[in-house]
Structure 1
């Protein structure tokens, strides 16, 4: 997958805020912006075919009464928490 460069203009105050957040994550501002933009774009993308198939299978098992679920309380109890 190729990459494209884009020039963006932001207010100085915005840059200051983003630089502080980048430092908190031990990232450069450029890296932080790229990470945030890519992460946001992924949230808009369609789920993979594998994920859709897995969810379809879980829905089918739930509708047919074959899906086994456990409460958070039971899971914490099982692992001694």
Structure 2
């Protein structure tokens, strides 16, 4: 994957906040900003074909009434919580 350089300007308050978050994650400020932006971009991207197929299957099973649901209480009881 190729990379492109961009110059961005942020106010000092935003930089200070981002620096604190970067330190909490043991990252450099540059790395933290790049990671955060790439993560946000991925959330805006279209889901993978595998995910779409899985969701189509789930919707089809729901429409047919063959999809099984478990309540949160059942799950907690099963795992002893």
**TM-score under structure 1 normalisation?**
0.94
Corresponding residue of 2:23: 23
SS of aligned partner of 1:15: helix
Give the CA deviation at 1:26. Answer: 1.5
1:39 aligns with 39
Greater relative contact order (Cα < 8 A, sep 6+): 2
Residue in 2 that maps onto 1:3 = 3
Q: Which consecutive unaligned segments of at least 5 residues does structure 1 have?
A: none
Say whether residues 1:59 and 2:59 are aligned partners: yes
Q: CA RMSD in A?
A: 0.9
**Which 5+ residue runs of structure 2 have no aligned equivalent?**
none
Q: Distance in 2 between matches of 1:79 and 1:22?
A: 35
Instruction: Give per-residue Cα distances to partners, 1:40-75, cap 9 Å, x unaligned.
Output: 101110001100000000000000000011111101
Alpha-carbon distance in structure 2 between the residues aligned to 1:13 and 1:59: 46
When the two structures are aligned, how many residues end up with a matched partner?
Answer: 81
Instruction: List structure 1 segments (4+ residues) > 4 angstroms apart after TM superposition.
Output: none
